Structure 1
């Protein structure tokens, strides 16, 4: 066997071996098609508007969103531009909550993020608006909470702090850390 034939045979065997290793690794790697399918929502809704009622027929809350994507496997729903109108059990005046993004989990808890705003529809309410980056809402109890920095606007004041718990049914509010309150001057 000549040197050229031996060299050609070695290159051929090396090429076949490398090709075999690549094929073996390709078969072991998870398919990207399956990964893409797992990331696709089970259903999507645009311009969503939904009314949710309690067992006794009373309106619990209304959900409006620009877009909603639901994933059955994780039982999670993602919202774009969610707007909730919440009807507390003990009062007739609803509250409105909006954000840029929202995530509803299987336990009926909504995580609202980015430009979160809670607004009282009752003009006589002491607290008119609450603003923050993050709020978590329990739709079963109508309790909102946040461990982030928030701003509370009232009739004649603006309050800054962090750590907030608001029970919309009793309108009781707890602020964990108070930073500053600015009172507006009332002129007669």
Structure 2
């Protein structure tokens, strides 16, 4: 009966509750110390991005502050550990340093390697450039790499080039953007279409 009276006192119940809480905190603290720290990658899985950007825009400038490259994408997934960004439907504009004329690039997907400053484009890659007022040059391939440091684009895949008068097919290509030099590597086939006359 004395023990019952003792346990029914409010301060004893409060003290017992505090002790129980302290023991629970101590147990949780010790269990945390035994577990290895969980990294973001182990929580989300290696194939999931650290973050993503909607309607992202990437700009690159030369030493004089002039815009040289502009790349946009409706969704960019970022992987911090590998310093890689994966772009959906990238749309790029490369500015010719000498003439200021743009090269337009589109693809189904693209991977930006931040350390190397490389963009790998894949799937229905199309590059267009205005040759003259009435002619446009087009390059089509399934894979193309843009090296933003050397200002080159290159591929080992088959390519098709058209300029309104000729169609050229080859396997492998390197192009120097600012020098407007194009090197086709192998299996080059060209077809020339003469201008048609409306006179009879």
The question of a shared fold, defined as TM-score above 0.5 by the shorter chain, is answered with yes
TM-score with structure 1 length normalisation?
A: 0.76
Give the aligned partner of residue 55 of structure 1: 63
Give 1:155 deviation, angstroms.
3.0
Aligned residues: 159
Secondary structure class of the residue paired with 2:132: coil
- Cα distance in 2 for residues equivalent to 1:77 and 1:173: 28
Greater RCO (CA < 8 Å, at least 6 residues apart): 1
Unpaired segments ≥5 residues, structure 1: 1-26
Matched, 1:84 2:92: yes
Give the aligned partner of residue 169 of structure 2: 160
Cα-Cα RMSD: 2.4
Where do 1:54-133 residues align within 5 Å? Answer: 54-105=62-113, 106-123=115-132, 128-133=137-142
Could you tell me whether the CA contact under 8 Å between 2:126 and 2:140 is conserved in 1?
A: yes
Higher alpha-carbon Rg: 2
Could you tell me whether the CA contact under 8 Å between 1:94 and 1:122 is conserved in 2?
A: no
- Cα distance in 1 for residues equivalent to 2:151 and 2:103: 10
- Cα distance in 2 for residues equivalent to 1:145 and 1:126: 23
Give the aligned partner of residue 29 of structure 2: none
Unpaired segments ≥5 residues, structure 2: 1-34
